[in-house]
Structures are given as structure tokens and as C-alpha cells.
Structure 1
Amino acid sequence: MPCIPLQRPISQPLRLRLSPLAVHPPSCSDYLDLIRENCVGLSTREVDAIFAHLARNRGFDVHSAHLSGNSKLSSWTKENFVNQYSTKAMAAVVLAQSASWAQAQDMSTPPQTLDVVTVTATKEKTTLQQSPASIGVLSEDAIRATGPTHPQQLLGQIPGVAVGVTNGEGHNMAIRQPFTTNPVYLYLEDGIPTRATGFFNHNALYEVNIPQAGSLELVRGPGSALYGSDAIAGTVNVITRAPAKTNGVETSVEAGSYGWARLLLDGTFGANPDGGLRVSVNRSHSDGWRQQTAYDRTSANFRWDQVINEQIFAKTILGFTSIDQQTGANSPLVRSAYENNPTQNNFSAAYRKVQALRFSSEITYWAGDDVFTITPYARSNQMDLNGSYNFSSDPRIEKTDVASYGLLAKWRRDFTGGWKPRLIMGLDLERSPGTRTEDALTMIKTGTGASTNYTGYTVAGRIYDYSVTFKSQSAYSHLQLSPTDKTLVTLGLRLDRIEYDLDNRLNSNVQLGAKYYGQAADSSTAFSRVSPKLGFTHLIAPQTSLYGSHNHGFRVPSESQLFRAGSDTTDARASTKALLALSLKPIRAKQTEIGVRGTTGGLNYDVVAYRLEKYDDLVSQRDVATNVTTSVNAGKTLHQGIEFALGAQLDRAWRVDSALSFAQHKYADWTVSGSTNANYSGNVMEAAPKTIGNTRLTWQPNARNQAQIEWVYLGSYWLEASNSPTYGKYEGHQVFNLRLSHSLSDSVRLHARIMNLTDKRYADSASVSSSTPVFSPALPRALYVGADMRW
């Protein structure tokens, strides 16, 4: 980002001297912004120690030389520093960015040391040392070196995270949960939700340009009190690339197996000491390795950073994505077809077309001890979907169109005093009018049961047609205290009020054949929740930090859960079903976790244990009074485990990094009634592997050559909730990937990847359909080669 001037002159220059491997050296603002935003009250003795540490460990000359980048910027002395800033633990914050910039592009993704800076947990730049949460950070270099064609290939480098491939870049997640498409994850771009809460889509990451992101942060477990609905199991924040310090263009061209082709264009224009514009374009295509599973993507991002004056900085982002894909890539097959004919696609009639547009402008104003940030934003999400998952029970074409308008307002102040308080308060407002139309289908098919092949369809008639406006008003506060020099305590509280206003354009129930689709009457539905959080960090050694938290999360029912209850066998039952759906409540969650992170003897580590409980989860049950089967808030699940991020530099050329997790996911209280009557309480949840692993061995003999072998492990899991040996388990899998790169010069880099190096047959997902185990075959061995060029 550009240099942000100080509010009053300072007198002595400070020079930044980085490792000779530095690719993008930090500007003065990268440090001054961190100092300005993140620290409290230092004595002269503390300042002396910090300056000595900087000089010793980061090569800073604190007595002479010059801060590059902005003619408005004077220099500073230690005395001016003491007078002008009041912050605690500033050294770690100041050092944070230099640690990442001072590396050449590196395939390894070591566990984060204490001085790595994150923004997701507190909506402010802060170090891991100060973050009482389990956070994984993937840097720009890690993203570029991985070259992901799907989020699965990147996010698995974070402990406790597994991603399943559905179609194209579509995905389901397993973060402290079984693999699920339920709305228990919050997806952000630069801290702003990519979708309105009421219109959740489990594939939301395909609307974001991950291959060209500046970094990615993932908070595991319920979001802090700074975030609202959906942040139950994890929050994923994709951060855009800031403009470079100088004008230039980067191009990446790639080709690969199964018709894969990708062109990435990236450039900075109008660069000057006060800002610049970055443009990133992603054009991707795949023929698909299975029958009729082609995929096309076009994405563009524009980010303009600008210093308005000495007190105001603006960051404006415009993002666009268009996706057109045939969605049978995850078509499940019976065991014999899975093993012998994996390219077979039984859902060739399915498709998904997506358009997403996002705009935001974050304006930060420094007024003495106060920092104000306002971020107005707008977005549009459109989808035309013929979902393969509906074919066997409720085939339909769904079209949704949602426009959102919102404002994020935040105030922060660092106070002086014994415990050096920092207070953050904010207000989030959003209004999202949207529409949904659904047309029932009559499927054209051959075969029976789990081997049914759906080849086409005819439109039978409209079953839903309504507009709904989602409205949310949320206020939060976050207090940070330092009772000792080594201890930081955080307390948070958030109040959410969420409303839906329904305007149904169908005035009566719809009958199609033997099915009746109940229609909700025009109505308003509202929910209110209070979410607290308590956390702490404690520096138990210079490079070791203990952290822990207890926090609450929730998610409100989505618009489709409230207003499209589905079909029943009579008009009266369908009406009752539609009415019962309106009584759904939010799902609640609470989590306690404790962990330790740091560095010792060349080993980086982050180890955390957690216990997450979900209450009022949706269970299908028969209503006693009406005998109608519908979803009710009657389920409780328990999720607990331990996660490890480990990394070690074995010698000058070799490094190993590993992300491991061991977890148990159980139904604590889960009784199903209706067409099936069962009590699953005490059972292990389906699609819930106990063990998830990712280990990468990286060889970098010099700055121009790198090679990495990656081992991906997924443990076995039950195929269905009864844990019946009749259906058994998916056996799990081990997959190896190879990545190579060679720099011909400072401006040309060649790279290659072989995914699934041993051509292992394994499943992206496995379940039971029509009383038969089915498996969705994953990508076989695939080769990708490309070149990156810079001008």
C-alpha cells in the first residue's frame, strides 16, 4: 500500500535494509501503518530494546539513511517515537511484514511465527502473538507457488481443513465439521461478506479470484464477536493484492491435462508515492476429465489505493466473476463404475451459471488518538442452476438474483493507562433485496436406483416465485487489555438483528401431478442474537505464546429454508409444511479452544485443541399434531479435536511443513422421524474423517530452483448416519503431488505441477444413495505446465 504520512513532522531518517532475496520490499507505510494502528504505551527503555531488536534481527540502521517512497514523509528519532506513539508489543507488529517480504517466492508454507500480521480476527492489523484464535495465513508467495486450479489444492495446507471438489471450482468444506454444504462458513473478500447471509452458497469461493489473491486468512471455529451469522465453523478471508510500488505487468500462461488452459494478467498502473491502481484478470477453461463436465471462468479485480491527504487513506475494490459450468463432475457412481468407468457422468443434464459483482470503498481517517473507518459496499449475485443433487427427489431449475447495499462503520482508540486498553466499536448495516424462481422438471432418464442416468429434462411448471428482502443491523464492541507486559485479554460482544420481508407472487399452493408445493403468505420474519467472546494470549517465552478463547456463533435460517419448504402429498399438508418452516430458529454454537504457537530449536509450531458444540441444528421430524414431516431445531452435535501446524528448516536447501488434525464429530442428540425413524444420538457423523493431513517437503538449492513433493492424507469415514456395517466406510486416501519451478531470469519463471502423481483412484466424496454406497471419483493424474513473465 502507499505511504501514509505521519500527522506531524519527525526529524531523523530511518533506513530499511532487507534480505537480498526480497522480491517486494515493504514501503515505509507498511511499517508506519502497523505502528499507527497496533500498539500502546512504551517506555524509553522499551523503545531502546525495540530499536536494538530491529537493528539486530532486521538490519535496520536506526541512526541514519532514508525512508523511501514519500516526499511528504520526514524522519524520526526514538524520542519522537516515544512521544508520538503509545502502543504495547509494537516490535512484533513492526517486524511482521518484513518477515514475509524478505523471502523469495517459496513453495513452503511454514507455520506462522508470532510476528506474522493478520487482519481477520479483529478487523485490525495485529500479530499472531496478539490473536487469541486459531488462524491460518497463506501468503501471496504460497498462493503463487501452489498455483491452485481449485481451492482444495491451497486450503489443505492449513491444519484442520479439508475441501471437497464438487464441480469446476465448486466445493464443500470440512473445517471442524464433517464435509458439508450447510451454511456454517463465512466467506469474505477484504473483510466484506461475498454474499448476503440469507442467500448462502456453499460454493462461494468460486466467486473470488483466489489464484491472484494477495493472501488468504482462515479462522477456524466460530467467528469473533466482530462477525455475525454463518461464522460457526470457519471464516475465510481472501485479501486482494495491493498495487505495486512501481508500474509493471505480470503474465502467467498455463496449459494442462483435460483441456485445461489459464491466462492470468496482472498490472499496476499510475503508481506514485500516494497510491496506484492494480488490475488482475483470470481467464480459465477446462474440458473436464469426466463426460460433459466443461468449465469456463472469467474474473477481474480492480484495486485502487490512494492517500487523500495526511489523515485520510482510501482503498477501493471492484471485483467481477462469471462462471459457466456443466455440474456433473461430482456425479456419484456405484463401486463397479467408480473403479472401472470413472469418466461416466450420470448427471449430464446439470449446469450452473453464475455472475458476481462486488464494489467497496474503505475510507480510513486518523484524528488524533481516534481512527475511523467507513466502508460502503454494493454487490450483485446471480445464479441459474440445474442442480444434480435435486435430480432424484425434487428436480428443478433455480434462479436467484440478489442485490446488496451495505455499510461497515468502525471506530478504534488506544487509551493510555495501567492496562493500555484498546477499544473497537462498530456498526454493520445491510439491505439485500432478492428474488427466487423455481421451475419443476420432469427428468429424462435410463436405469434405476443409484445407477440412474439423467440425460435431459422438460419443464413441468413454476413452483416458487417470490421476492425477499434481507435486512441486518449489527453493533459490536471489542475491548483489548494488557494486565501484564506479556498478557493480552480480549472481550467482545455483538448484537445482531436480522429480518426477512417476503413478497410471494404465487397466491396459492401449486399442484404438479401428485405433488403439492406449499406457499408462504407475505410476511416478515425477524431474529435477534447476542454473541459474546472472551480470549487471551500470554507470552510464556520470547518466541512462544499461549492462547485461548471461548466464543459463540450462530446462523439464521436461509431464505430458502424459510420460504420454500418443499412438497407434500396433499394441499393441506403442503400448507402446514410451509407454515411450520416459518417457525425455524437460528442454529447456535459455542466453542472453547486453547493452543500454543511459537518457535524453538528451528521448529515452528502451532498446536491447538478445541471443543465445539452446535445446538438447535435442523433435523427432519414428523410434527405430532399434524403428522407432517419438516425440519425442526432439535439437533445437537459435538466436535472436538487437536490440530498441528509444524515446520522445520532441515538444512540450507531442505524444509518440511505439515498440517495435521485429529478430530471426532458425533451426534450428541439426533432423532429423525418421518419416512425414516431413527435415533442417531451417540453415533459418529457421516462424511467426518478423524484424520486430515498435508505434508510438504521442499527443496530449494538456490533462489532460481525449487521442487516440492506434497502428501495429502484423508482418513476413513462412515457413509451414513447409522454407522451400519452394511454400508461401511469410505477407506480414505493418500495422494501425492509434485511441483517444480525454475527462474530463467528475474522476469521469466517456468513451472510445472503433477497432481495425483501415482494416478491413485480415490473419491472426492462418498455416501449412500438408494441403499447403495456411491463414490464420486477424483481427478486422476494431471500435468500442468506454465510460464510467468514480468515487465
Structure 2
Amino acid sequence: MLASVASFGGFAEPLENDDIDEVVVVSANRYQTPLTELPGSAQQLDADSLAALNPQHIQQALVQVAGATFARGDGVEYLPGLRSPVQTGPGACGSVLSAVDGIPLRAAGFCNINELFEAPIELGASIEVLSGPWSTIYGSNALTGVVNVLTPDFAERGSQLSVTLSDNAYHQLTGLYDGQTGEHDIIAAASISHDDGYRDSSGYNQQKLLLKHGITLDSFRVISTLNVSRLDQQTAAYLVGKDSYKDKELSKTNPAPEAYRKAHSIRFSSRIDGGNDDLRWQITPYARYVDMEFLQHFLPGTPVEENHHTSLGVQTSWLWHWLEAGVDLEYTQGSLLQFQEKPTQGSDFLEATIPVGKHYDYKVDATLVSPFAQVTVPLTEQLTMTLAARVDYQHYDYQNQMNSGRVDEQGMPCGFGGCRYNRPESSRDSFSAFSPKAGLIYQLTPNHQLFSNVSRGHRAPQATELYRLQRAQNKTDLSNETLDSAELGWRGNHNAWRWQAAAYWMKRDNLILRDSDFFTVTGGTTNHKGIEAKLVAQLSNHWQWQFNGSYAIHRYGDVPQLGDVKGNRVDSAPAFNGSSQLRWQLTEALNATAEWLYVDEYYTDAANMHQYDGHQLVNLRGQWQMTEAFIISAKVDNLLDTRYAERADYSNFSGDRYFPGRGRTAYLEFNYRMPM
């Protein structure tokens, strides 16, 4: 059956008139929480929804999330946006927190803009999206929202094997075992993907492994998870030139055929649950290792960056009646090396200021201490209040491993006043933040509910913002970015209709950005207001319709570093963004879905002098269950072969530039299931 209000994501049997409190939002706290206890917006794409969609990229799934503005890049890359413009820049990944089973994919202060490519969305997972600030639950980086990938639950589904084939030599092989051996629940899943790419020199190979084990002992349950990923990708660069994406042949070219990204990750966690009806507790120790190397083809001289970090952490929580409290601890050792092998090509200025050799070589030891508490109190039979707060203390111990200042690797000064890259002296830096939240839920009827909240989110400066300086800047003076938010929403169902709608107002302060002198500074504000809605209607026994959409206005406040932009629309922020799905259940074994995607026009620069016209796409997919064990699925993305840009941007150096979208692309999947 289609999941209730928070799920919306998949299509299955006709809807029933169930109460809205059937839905469970796992990460509303550390325990399974009914939607009726959540004073905020949440949406979920369940495992069946993702299996039917068979996304090759997470953005293909997130188009069904109201308010998500993720922009797909080439290969597995993307730029995130959730209740916000598409985020760009070295610390932009700190605005939307990405997690697996509630544990952030990257350590606090070490995020990566593309980090969700390591999440196991192909391996029976579901995706949960929390919109707005959620720092009271997740701490730093949960500024505009959270994308939490949930590994599959133990369901004793047996084994299954699937093969997907497509254009450009794309193929993916996925296998999953879900069963029980004695008292042990076991899930073992793996995927192998290959894509030659739709642009020149833009293919990738990716492998993922998921192992999950569960056992119930005398008074507690232990669930351990191992998640491994590996990526070897050729990367395609922006296509430069006004409307260049509209040229079909030009859109397949790649101005940077030498660009690449290689990444490896290993994550292990072990969640221990115990307690009784009066007091429940949960302890989750975890470890992560992340290693990445990529060519910065977007910079003069195309330097290589190598970064890695290793973390040990623990999440703890105690739930006593109406009070939940705990503390999260994390220790991380990270490093970054940037070097250039060949002389810089270009003007005399670029050649003189960007030398061959190492540009940065540093280590950072980071410590995070983060206590939190949340109380949920019924004020009347219909009205419930939730109060929550978290304190984050983030400490960096930065160690420069080469000479300091604006000199080259040998200590020689560069011409034109000094080298482009400036290495600050070793230092220690600390950041503290307080994140409160207050929410109300009013139960109008068993099937209708109003909710509201006011909250603050924050993100600490990322290590790259603090220690990768340029020009004459010798030290930053950064502070936490904050976002204050107010939200009012309504969710419910009536007969064959289900919905969730919300309006929000947000103000973002202390923006971390790079000014005209190439200094990384704190300053400026942006203002955001919008409405979001998800709606599912069972039109008949055979027809079902779903709508997901948002209308939002994002404007600059005072941002002196960007010039006179107050009141301008924030770039990379379409006002309307949405999708709609119409499903036809022809027979019990055969169904088809037509999908419409819409991206409104948006400005591509802060001055609002350049813009992208937006686009509309049509996708078609179908599924035939030939036997109880064998399923054939097919889909065609961009059915009308529309010329469009996944991402449009304007640079003062190169002008209009784009990530061109794929043309018409067909996929065929064969799935064989072997029940227990």
C-alpha cells in the first residue's frame, strides 16, 4: 500500500483512509516517531518507491520532494539545494546535511558538495528528507534541511538480482540477500555500475557494498552496519557560451577531458538499543574513513586536490517519558594536499602567481562535543508542544606542513605582489553555537493536523574556508552561519486524497563567502519565503496522481561583498520547482507512469543581469511482473528529447556556462527475486 502523508514517494495499491499517525519518521529523534509527533515538514521515498524508480542518480529521486532544488552534474556529481537556492562554493555543502541512518556522511567541518554519491540508494534503501533547520537533532550543517538515507530494514525478503542496461554502455548489476540465520538477521547487498557518459570522456565506474547484522540479546538489540563505496570517474566541465547547451552535438563535448575524481569510503556503525517502557536508551559508536582525489579543472593551472579524513564518534540518547537527552562526540583527523604538476597557461599574471608544486599541505584535528535535549508535552487533548535545544562546540587544531605565506613551495616570492595561494600559520580555532526549536501540533481531527515551529539552524565554518586562503589574507575571522526560521503547515487525508503543505519564512545571517579581494569573510544576509505542497490522489482503482511543488522567493539582504545587490533575487533559485506523476495500473501485473518535471527560470548572477529560461521534461516508465519472481522494468528519461541545462551559471571570467542535460535515454531492467 502507498505509504501515508510523509511518504508520498511510491505507487502501489489503492489508498485507504488510514489515520495520518501511521507514518513513522525515523530521524525526528533517535527513536521511531509517528508523524503526529513531529512539528515540522518531512517527506520520505520508501524502498519500494526507489526500486520502481531505479534512479541512476539521487537527483532523479529527489525531484519527488517538494522544495528540493538539487542540480545534477556530470557522472555522480550534483549541487544541493533544499528550501534554498542551489548551493555553490567551498563551504556550500555545509548547508544541507547528508546522512546514512542518522550519521553524517562526512565529519563536521569536512563536508563535500557531492557526498551523497557514497550513500547506498541502489541497495534497498529509502530516503528521508527533513526541510528547514534541524540543528537541534543533527547539529552543525543541518541548516536548510537534511537528506537521510536509511539502509533497508530486516524483512526476510530472500535474495534478488537485477541488471540495468542503457545507452552509452551503461550497465548496473545489483544483488541483495535479506534473511535470517538462527538469531541473526543479515542483509548483504552490492552494486557494480559502469557508464561511458553522454559527453566525451565523462564515464565512471562505481562499486558499493552494504553489510548489516542484527541480533537481540537479553535486554537490548544490536544492529551493526558496514557501508563501503568506491568511485573512479572522468569528469566533464561546464559548457561555455550563451545557450551552448541547445546545440545537440556541442552538448556532448567536454572542455576538460583530463578531469577526474577518485573516491573511497568505509563507514561502520553499531547501534545498541535497550531499556524498558519507562526509560529507553541508545548508544551508536561509529567510524568513518574517506579518501578523495580530483583534478580541479575549474581553476587556472588545474591543480590536483587530495583530501582524506578518519573519524571516531558516538551518538547517545536517553528517552524518559516526555524527555529525550543525549550527547554526540566526534574526533576527526583530516588532511588536504593541493599540488600542480604543469605550468599555468594564460596571462602573464596567472603564470606568475600560480606556480608549479604544492599550494597547500595541512592537517586538521577536529573535536566535536554536542549535547542536546528535547521535551514533548501535551498541553491539552488536541495541542502538543515540543521544545528542543542543542549546543555545539567545534574545535580545530590546524597544522601547516609547508612554508607559510604567499610564496611557492621553495619559499620564493611570486611576481605581481605574491602568489595566489596563501598558507596561514598553524593555529587553533573554536566555534560554539546554540540551536533552539519550539513547535506546536494541533490535532483538528484524527485525519487532519496543523503544525508550526520556530527554530534556528547553524553551520560552523568548514576547514577549507578557514585554511585555504588566497591573495593577501593571512587569517580569517569567521563565525557560524545561522538561519532563523518560522513554519506553519497542514497535513491530512480525506477519502482518496492525502496531502502535506507548509509555508515558511527564513533569514540567513553571517554568510560565509569570498569577496572581491578573494578574502573569505563573514557577512551579509539573505531572506527566504515560500510554500511547499505534496498531494496524492487515488482517482480510481486504476489511476493515481501525485504532485510535488514549491514556490519560493529568495532575496539578498545587505551583502556588501557582492556589491549593490540588496533586494535582488538570489542566483540559482527558480521561483517554482516541481514535478507530477500520473500512474496507470493496467492490470495487477502491469503499470505505467508518466512524469512531468518543471524548473522555472532563474538568474545566474547576483546582479540579476543574466538568466536561464528554465525547462520542462517528460519521463515515462513501466513495469511488468511476468511471474512472482521475475519483473521487467523500462523507462525513457527526457522522452521528448528536450535540449536543457541541468545547471546554468554565469562567471565573470567565462560568461554563461552550463551542465547540459542528457537527451532522450532509455533504460531496461531485469529483476529476479528468490523468496525465502
Q: What TM-score do the two structures reach when normalised by structure 1?
A: 0.79
Match of 1:423 among 323, 347, 357: 323
The whole-number CA distance in structure 2 between the counterparts of 1:775 and 1:629 is 24
1:242-281 C-alpha deviation (Å, 9 max, x unpaired) = 23336x2100101001111000100024444x44110110
The whole-number CA distance in structure 1 between the counterparts of 2:18 and 2:403 is 57
The whole-number CA distance in structure 2 between the counterparts of 1:669 and 1:399 is 36
C-alpha contact 1:121 1:224 (8 A) present in aligned 2: no
C-alpha contact 2:451 2:489 (8 A) present in aligned 1: yes
The whole-number CA distance in structure 2 between the counterparts of 1:167 and 1:445 is 25
Query: Judging changes above 3 Å, is the alpha-carbon distance between structure 1 residues 224 and 556 closer, same or farther for their aligned structure 2 residues?
Result: closer
Hey, what does 1:151 align to over in structure 2?
58
The whole-number CA distance in structure 1 between the counterparts of 2:650 and 2:445 is 50
The whole-number CA distance in structure 2 between the counterparts of 1:96 and 1:179 is 29
Q: Map of 1:2-151 to 2, 5 A cutoff? A: 113-151=20-58
1:631-669 C-alpha deviation (Å, 9 max, x unpaired) = 221110011100010110010000000001100010011
Query: Judging changes above 3 Å, is the alpha-carbon distance between structure 1 residues 324 and 596 closer, same or farther for their aligned structure 2 residues?
Result: same
Q: Does 1:387 align with 2:299?
A: no
The whole-number CA distance in structure 2 between the counterparts of 1:647 and 1:112 is 15
Query: Judging changes above 3 Å, is the alpha-carbon distance between structure 1 residues 495 and 412 closer, same or farther for their aligned structure 2 residues?
Result: same
Hey, what does 1:604 align to over in structure 2?
498
Deviation of the 1:537 alpha carbon:
1.1
SS of aligned partner of 1:498: strand
Hey, what does 2:78 align to over in structure 1?
171
Match of 1:401 among 302, 308, 332: 308
The whole-number CA distance in structure 1 between the counterparts of 2:133 and 2:494 is 30
The whole-number CA distance in structure 2 between the counterparts of 1:200 and 1:695 is 32
The whole-number CA distance in structure 2 between the counterparts of 1:718 and 1:96 is 36
| Paired residue total | 652
C-alpha contact 2:643 2:661 (8 A) present in aligned 1: yes
Deviation of the 1:365 alpha carbon:
1.1
Q: Return 508-517 or 526-535, whichever deviates more.
A: 508-517
Q: Does 1:205 align with 2:116?
A: yes
Match of 2:151 among 195, 219, 240: 240
Query: Judging changes above 3 Å, is the alpha-carbon distance between structure 1 residues 337 and 215 closer, same or farther for their aligned structure 2 residues?
Result: closer
Q: Does 1:585 align with 2:485?
A: no
C-alpha contact 1:766 1:776 (8 A) present in aligned 2: yes
C-alpha contact 2:19 2:446 (8 A) present in aligned 1: no
Hey, what does 2:509 align to over in structure 1?
615
Deviation of the 1:111 alpha carbon:
13
Deviation of the 1:123 alpha carbon:
2.4
Query: Judging changes above 3 Å, is the alpha-carbon distance between structure 1 residues 388 and 523 closer, same or farther for their aligned structure 2 residues?
Result: same
Q: Map of 1:101-500 to 2, 5 A cutoff? A: 113-181=20-88, 182=92, 183-245=94-156, 248-272=158-182, 274-309=183-218, 311-328=219-236, 330-336=238-244, 338-340=246-248, 341-367=250-276, 369-390=278-299, 392=300, 395-414=302-321, 422-440=322-340, 442=342, 460-500=356-396
Query: Judging changes above 3 Å, is the alpha-carbon distance between structure 1 residues 107 and 634 closer, same or farther for their aligned structure 2 residues?
Result: farther
> One-letter code of the match for 2:559?
W
Hey, what does 1:747 align to over in structure 2?
629
Q: Which of structures 1 and 2 has the larger relative contact order (alpha carbons within 8 angstroms, sep 6+)?
A: 2
Hey, what does 1:661 align to over in structure 2?
550
> One-letter code of the match for 2:253?
Q
The whole-number CA distance in structure 2 between the counterparts of 1:590 and 1:446 is 44
Query: Judging changes above 3 Å, is the alpha-carbon distance between structure 1 residues 709 and 112 closer, same or farther for their aligned structure 2 residues?
Result: farther
> One-letter code of the match for 1:492?
A
Hey, what does 1:775 align to over in structure 2?
658
The whole-number CA distance in structure 2 between the counterparts of 1:212 and 1:621 is 43
C-alpha contact 2:239 2:245 (8 A) present in aligned 1: no
SS of aligned partner of 1:142: helix
Query: Judging changes above 3 Å, is the alpha-carbon distance between structure 1 residues 720 and 112 closer, same or farther for their aligned structure 2 residues?
Result: farther
Runs of 4+ in 1 over 6 A off after TM superposition: 443-447
Query: Judging changes above 3 Å, is the alpha-carbon distance between structure 1 residues 443 and 765 closer, same or farther for their aligned structure 2 residues?
Result: farther
SS of aligned partner of 2:36: helix
C-alpha contact 1:111 1:646 (8 A) present in aligned 2: no
C-alpha contact 1:164 1:179 (8 A) present in aligned 2: yes
C-alpha contact 1:111 1:657 (8 A) present in aligned 2: no
- After superposition, the CA RMSD in angstroms is 2.5
Deviation of the 1:384 alpha carbon:
0.4
1:477-531 C-alpha deviation (Å, 9 max, x unpaired) = 0000111222221000101100000111113335344352322222110011111
1:680-723 C-alpha deviation (Å, 9 max, x unpaired) = 11100111100001000001133311100000000000121111
> One-letter code of the match for 1:606?
Q
Q: Which has a greater percent of helix?
A: 1
The whole-number CA distance in structure 2 between the counterparts of 1:111 and 1:205 is 33
Deviation of the 1:289 alpha carbon:
0.4
> One-letter code of the match for 1:543?
N
Identity, % of aligned positions: 29
Deviation of the 1:768 alpha carbon:
1.5
C-alpha contact 1:382 1:400 (8 A) present in aligned 2: yes
Query: Could you list the runs of 5+ residues in structure 1 that have no partner in the other structure?
Result: 1-20, 23-94, 415-421, 448-457, 623-627
C-alpha contact 2:453 2:486 (8 A) present in aligned 1: yes
The whole-number CA distance in structure 1 between the counterparts of 2:274 and 2:4 is 23
Hey, what does 1:717 align to over in structure 2?
602
The whole-number CA distance in structure 2 between the counterparts of 1:649 and 1:249 is 32
The whole-number CA distance in structure 1 between the counterparts of 2:240 and 2:80 is 18
Deviation of the 1:786 alpha carbon:
1.2
Deviation of the 1:578 alpha carbon:
2.4
The whole-number CA distance in structure 2 between the counterparts of 1:307 and 1:204 is 33
Q: Return 690-699 or 343-352, whichever deviates more.
A: 343-352
SS of aligned partner of 2:617: strand
Query: Could you list the runs of 5+ residues in structure 2 that have no partner in the other structure?
Result: 348-353, 409-413
Query: Judging changes above 3 Å, is the alpha-carbon distance between structure 1 residues 552 and 478 closer, same or farther for their aligned structure 2 residues?
Result: same
Deviation of the 1:760 alpha carbon:
0.3
Greater C-alpha Rg? 1
> One-letter code of the match for 2:225?
I
Query: Judging changes above 3 Å, is the alpha-carbon distance between structure 1 residues 771 and 138 closer, same or farther for their aligned structure 2 residues?
Result: same
SS of aligned partner of 1:120: helix
C-alpha contact 1:619 1:635 (8 A) present in aligned 2: no
SS of aligned partner of 1:226: helix
